[in-house]
Amino acid sequence: MYRLVSKNPNAFLKATVSVRTATQPLFASFSLANSIKPSLTSLFSSKIQKNLFSNSAIFSEYTATNKSDVIYTQPEHTSAEYVPVPFSNYTQINSKTMHAIKDVLRFKDASIVQDKIISELPSEQDFLIKAKTGTGKTIAFLVGAIETLVKYKASPSYNKDSMGILIISPTRELAKQIHQEAIKIAHYHKFGVHVLVGGESSRLQQHQINKEPLDIVVATPGRLLDIWENSNKFDRATKNLQVLVFDEADMLLDMGFQKEVARIIEQCPKERQNFLVSATFSRKVREIARQALAGKSFKELDCVDPNETNVVQRIKQSYIKINWDMHYFALHQILNSQIKKNIEETGNGSKIIIFLSSTKATQVYHDALQSFMSNRGMSVNLSYKNSRNSHKNSGNSRNLQVKNSTAIYCIHGKKTQEVRSRISDRFRNFNTSDGNSAILITTDISARGVDYPGTNFVLQVGAPSTTEQYTHRIGRTGRAGKSGEGMILISPAEMPFVRELEREQKLNLAESEEFNIEAVSNLEQALSVVNESSERNDGFGSDDNDNIDISSIDKNLLAEARNFYNRFRSYSASADTMEIEDMYISLLGHYQSLLGSFRLDPSKLVEDTSKSLIPFGIIDKPRLPSMLKASFSGNGKGFSGSRQRNRSDSRGSSRGGYNDSRESRGGSRGGYNDSKGSRDDGQYRSNDKSDFKNKSRSRSQYSSNDRTEFSYKSRDRGNSHSRQRGGSSRD
Ligand SMILES: Nc1ncnc2c1ncn2[C@@H]1O[C@H](COP(=O)(O)OP(=O)(O)OP(=O)(O)O)[C@@H](O)[C@H]1O
């Protein structure tokens, strides 16, 4: 009999986690309509809206106006984002707009935020708009702004050379998405609709500007100011600008666009309407509001109850407490489980987004996932229930032949705009109806505003920069009335983040039931067994090792671990050590900015995060750049075993795990955290904090020839299985 001996005490999760009750029960909301509580209705008596129906559910909804002129929508433990008012009931919308909503967008009922805006029309007022993620803010502000434009066009002061609506977006992806929505809703108006973003031909954009009226312009700040300076027609047109919109207003400031925002506001005419839009009203949104709406009264349309979270309630959310060295196998299990579950429930493949906090980590996780998740598809027989097709059959379930391939995509700020757009389009249009699935691995470049319809699962790897960012990331699923699920992988050192989520976002996250501490420990054991037997080279599960007791380990899990192990090993063996070390440093760069806000323990973070090196057999932590040292080595802990990378590490050419054709190689090594990589101001400005560029290193100096073989146990085995590079030094 085998007895499982953990030679790696850290490998087993010992910490206990209190399992709290989820406040976001899956599909909790679809009961409803019956239950508007009299006590609540009397609290909000001024304006009670009728209830209704949305795409997927029955909702109850009512709103109220209080004295401070802030309108709250009272969600009343429902996930209601739609009101029962069909668009056709709104008489205040221009008929051409209405026509487009019906025939081009094909929307039936208005969402709450849309109802809020439309109820105010016609209006020249300034609006500060807050509504939950994925609840249709884009169309809401477009409808409002277009009404103002239509009115202006009909007025005697109309000048055909003037600009109608200028919409500022923090990222190119979002700008292009808004542009597409604007084209649709402006269909019958025959407006000129433009998008000005970096990474694409400025000449072409200027050509368009000269050719067509500037009715609606969507732009990122950098390219906008660039064209503003260089195009007389554009400059003249802005003198009569009617409406200025800042979408994802706080992100503009988060990304360091303060100066650009200030310039844009300064250069616009004072007489205009303003819309400020976000799913979260941080201090920063109010900062823009102060600038843009200075001295003017504005109406705050807050569609989220102050006691509620900004995330739609039907998104089931949980955390998985797990060490970084277990991520890949856990991903293998989590993703396969999600895909299987979704196919069984709906007959469809999955659309999944995985968020990481640095470009380096995003690229590494993408490459790893390609090794063990992507496949060319196979036909499988599935018996599934509740499928959208099940009505075609007499029974509740039926056998179905589906293809079962998984495509893996990756977007981050170091990719060219052309590649970003292409991948974004592919993922957006990915068809899951034949059982195929798609996974997008991305940085926060895709966290805000970006709409990938049909995304049913969002997985966050590690804590994001703010609790608001968590809600924006989660908001990529559960959109437009659809259901969705979110999970976050959290290392023990990051647990304070989960508590902050509760405090700041009122999100009481529960531990995952399926991947709780015990389940994660099982994963670890199974992987250890496979790893052990692989190292003995005696075949998986053979009987001639008396150190391991595998009887308690589920046979299927062992088989899955072996399958994963074999596939992942082929990737890890060829991965570039320097890329992996850079990933580790970039992650610490990300955590550096969280230390204070989430009261994280620096030495614990270093220890936890360094486990990301283990699957690649890297034993010693690389030396940290001075910018990080100051934050992470204050007490001298956490650096035992740190090793300086130096020239003596060089052993010839790279193994080429990441070959140079990858976009991630293209740019500088600085600016690992690309929440700024999506800046669009003509050049990439790396944040000092995360710019750990070490120009003196050349890639070949850190070739991976000397990297160890894959081993989850390398920590325990010293050098016997892990060849350390020379030149190690403590930091
Ligand atoms: N009234 C409606 N009926 C059906 N679908 C709608 C409606 N309004 C918007 N949608 C769809 O809902 C999705 C989300 O809309 P949108 O991107 O505008 O959300 P958002 O509130 O801006 O989200 P985020 O906070 O993430 O920016 C889009 O696919 C959009 O086409």
Average pLDDT over residues 277-286: 77
Q: Which is higher by pLDDT, 21 or 147?
A: 147
CATH code (residue 150): 3.40.50.300
Predicted confidence band at 638 (pLDDT cuts at 50, 70, 90)?
very low
Q: Which amino acid is at 726?
A: G
Q: Which is higher by pLDDT, 278 or 96?
A: 96
CA distance 66 to 270: 29
Which protein residues touch ligand 1 with a CB less than 6 Å away? 55, 107, 109-111, 114, 131, 133-139, 279, 449, 451, 453, 475, 479-480
Over residues 496-524, the pLDDT tens digits come to: 999 999 888 888 899 999 999 999 999 99
Number of Cβ within a 10 Å radius of residue 438: 24
Ligand 1 atom 20: residue of nearest CA: 134
Q: Which is higher by pLDDT, 583 or 301?
A: 583
> Residue 459 in contact with residue 353, Cβ under 8 Å?
yes
Distance from the alpha carbon of residue 526 to the mean position of ligand 1, in angstroms: 43
Number of Cβ within a 10 Å radius of residue 606: 24
Q: Is the pLDDT of residue 639 over 80?
A: no
> Residue 247 in contact with residue 178, Cβ under 8 Å?
yes
Distance from the alpha carbon of residue 127 to the mean position of ligand 1, in angstroms: 18
Are 244 and 105 contained in the same domain? yes
Are 261 and 145 contained in the same domain? yes
> Residue 433 in contact with residue 350, Cβ under 8 Å?
no
Which ipTM score applies to this complex?
0.99
Q: Is residue 625 part of a domain?
A: no
Q: Which is higher by pLDDT, 578 or 720?
A: 578
Average pLDDT over residues 680-687: 34
Over residues 474-494, the pLDDT tens digits come to: 999 998 888 899 999 999 999
Residue 137 host element (H or E): helix 137-153
Are 170 and 49 contained in the same domain? no
Q: Is residue 25 part of a domain?
A: yes
Q: Which of 298, 280, 685 is nearest to 289 (CA)?
A: 298
Q: Which pLDDT value is given to residue 534?
A: 77
Are 367 and 506 contained in the same domain? yes
CA distance 351 to 426: 12
| Residue to substitute in 111, 114, 133, 429 for testing ligand 1 pocket (most ligand atoms within 8 angstroms of CB) | 111
Average pLDDT over residues 357-385: 78
Atom of ligand 1 lying closest to residue 248 CA: 27
Ligand 1 atom 23: residue of nearest CA: 134
Are 264 and 127 contained in the same domain? yes
The answer for residues whose C-beta is within 8 angstroms of residue 92's C-beta and 6 or more apart is: 118, 121, 122, 147
> Residue 224 in contact with residue 137, Cβ under 8 Å?
no
Atom of ligand 1 lying closest to residue 278 CA: 25
Over residues 600-620, the pLDDT tens digits come to: 999 999 999 999 999 999 988
Q: Which pLDDT value is given to residue 689?
A: 33
Q: Is the pLDDT of residue 68 over 50?
A: no
Distance from the alpha carbon of residue 137 to the mean position of ligand 1, in angstroms: 6
> Residue 543 in contact with residue 506, Cβ under 8 Å?
no
Q: Is residue 45 part of a domain?
A: yes
List the structure tokens of 15. 């910490």
> Residue 716 in contact with residue 8, Cβ under 8 Å?
yes
Q: Dihedral angle at the C-alpha atoms of 720, 723, 726, 729, nearest 10 degrees?
A: -70
> Residue 699 in contact with residue 654, Cβ under 8 Å?
yes
Predicted confidence band at 537 (pLDDT cuts at 50, 70, 90)?
low
DSSP state at residue 540: T
Distance from the alpha carbon of residue 503 to the mean position of ligand 1, in angstroms: 27
Ligand 1 atom 12: residue of nearest CA: 480
Ligand 1 atom 27: residue of nearest CA: 449
Q: Is residue 105 part of a domain?
A: yes
Are 41 and 91 contained in the same domain? no
Ligand 1 atom 18: residue of nearest CA: 136
> Residue 527 in contact with residue 562, Cβ under 8 Å?
no
For the CA atoms of the chain, what is the radius of gyration?
27
DSSP 671-700: ---TTTTT--SSS----GGG----TT--GG
Ligand 1 atom 7: residue of nearest CA: 136
Predicted confidence band at 142 (pLDDT cuts at 50, 70, 90)?
very high
Question: Which residues partner with 194 through β-bridges?
Answer: 217
The answer for residues whose C-beta is within 8 angstroms of residue 445's C-beta and 6 or more apart is: 171, 173, 411, 412, 413, 420, 674, 675, 677, 678
Q: Dihedral angle at the C-alpha atoms of 462, 468, 470, 472, nearest 10 degrees?
A: -140
Distance from the alpha carbon of residue 117 to the mean position of ligand 1, in angstroms: 14
Q: Which is higher by pLDDT, 148 or 278?
A: 148
Q: Is the peptide bond before 122 cis (omega within 30 degrees of 0)?
A: yes
DSSP state at residue 415: S
Q: Is residue 551 part of a domain?
A: no
Phi and psi angles of residue 105, each rounded to the nearest 5 degrees, phi first: -75, -30
Question: Which residues partner with 273 through β-bridges?
Answer: 243
Number of Cβ within a 10 Å radius of residue 535: 15
Q: Which pLDDT value is given to residue 279?
A: 79
Ligand 1 atom 4: residue of nearest CA: 107
Give the domain range for residue 22: 2-73
CA distance 103 to 366: 39
CA distance 357 to 363: 11
Q: Which pLDDT value is given to residue 350?
A: 96
CA distance 554 to 551: 8
Give the sign of the dihedral formed by CA 501, CA 503, CA 507, CA 513.
Answer: positive
What is the pLDDT of the chain when averaged over all its residues? 74
> Residue 443 in contact with residue 675, Cβ under 8 Å?
yes
Ligand 1 atom 15: residue of nearest CA: 136
Q: Which of 561, 573, 720, 724 is nearest to 641 (CA)?
A: 724
CA distance 179 to 193: 7
- Final residue of a domain: which of 259, 274, 302? 302
> Residue 347 in contact with residue 400, Cβ under 8 Å?
yes
Over residues 318-342, the pLDDT tens digits come to: 999 999 999 999 999 999 999 999 9
Distance from the alpha carbon of residue 113 to the mean position of ligand 1, in angstroms: 10
Q: Which pLDDT value is given to residue 634?
A: 57
Are 108 and 68 contained in the same domain? no
Cα diameter, the chain: 92
CA distance 93 to 140: 12
Q: Which pLDDT value is given to residue 55?
A: 31
Q: Is the pLDDT of residue 85 over 60?
A: yes
Q: Is residue 360 part of a domain?
A: yes
Over residues 383-432, the pLDDT tens digits come to: 444 444 444 444 444 455 556 789 999 999 999 989 999 999 999 999 99
| Residue to substitute in 85, 89, 135, 180 for testing ligand 1 pocket (most ligand atoms within 8 angstroms of CB) | 135
Q: Which of 128, 119, 183 is nearest to 299 (CA)?
A: 128
Ligand 1 atom 5: residue of nearest CA: 480
Q: Which is higher by pLDDT, 2 or 711?
A: 711
Atom of ligand 1 lying closest to residue 174 CA: 27
Distance from the alpha carbon of residue 111 to the mean position of ligand 1, in angstroms: 8
Distance from the alpha carbon of residue 138 to the mean position of ligand 1, in angstroms: 7
Q: Is residue 593 part of a domain?
A: no
SS3 track for 442-500: ECHHHCCCCCCCCCCEEEEECCCCCHHHHHHHHCCCCCCCCCEEEEEEECHHHHHHHHH
Distance from the alpha carbon of residue 143 to the mean position of ligand 1, in angstroms: 13
Give the sign of the dihedral formed by CA 250, CA 253, CA 258, CA 263.
Answer: negative
Ligand 1 atom 25: residue of nearest CA: 133
Q: Which pLDDT value is given to residue 401?
A: 52
The answer for residues whose C-beta is within 8 angstroms of residue 309's C-beta and 6 or more apart is: 471, 505, 506, 507
DSSP 382-398: EEEES-TTGGGSSSSEE
The least confident of 285-294, 345-354, 460-469 is 285-294
Average pLDDT over residues 206-235: 95
Distance from the alpha carbon of residue 566 to the mean position of ligand 1, in angstroms: 42
Distance from the alpha carbon of residue 449 to the mean position of ligand 1, in angstroms: 9
- Final residue of a domain: which of 52, 73, 94? 73
Average pLDDT over residues 343-349: 91
**What global pTM score does this model have?**
0.73
> Residue 408 in contact with residue 376, Cβ under 8 Å?
no
Q: Which pLDDT value is given to residue 403?
A: 63
DSSP 278-331: ESS--HHHHHHHHHHTTTS-EEEEE-S-TTS-SS-TTEEEEEEE--GGGHHHHH
> Residue 44 in contact with residue 67, Cβ under 8 Å?
no
Are 223 and 289 contained in the same domain? yes
Predicted confidence band at 356 (pLDDT cuts at 50, 70, 90)?
very high
Number of domains comprising the chain: 3
Average pLDDT over residues 667-690: 34
Distances (CA, A) of 222 to 164, 172, 679: 20, 10, 8
Are 68 and 93 contained in the same domain? no
The answer for residues whose C-beta is within 8 angstroms of residue 492's C-beta and 6 or more apart is: 13, 15, 321, 323, 604, 608
Are 117 and 216 contained in the same domain? yes
Q: Is the pLDDT of residue 719 over 50?
A: no
- Final residue of a domain: which of 46, 73, 100? 73
Q: Which pLDDT value is given to residue 75?
A: 31
DSSP 166-203: EEE-SSHHHHHHHHHHHHHHTTTTT--EEEE-TTS-HH
Q: Which is higher by pLDDT, 23 or 390?
A: 390
Q: Is residue 275 part of a domain?
A: yes
Predicted confidence band at 369 (pLDDT cuts at 50, 70, 90)?
very high
Atom of ligand 1 lying closest to residue 108 CA: 3
Are 293 and 156 contained in the same domain? yes
Residue with tokens 């890329």: 579
Are 327 and 455 contained in the same domain? yes
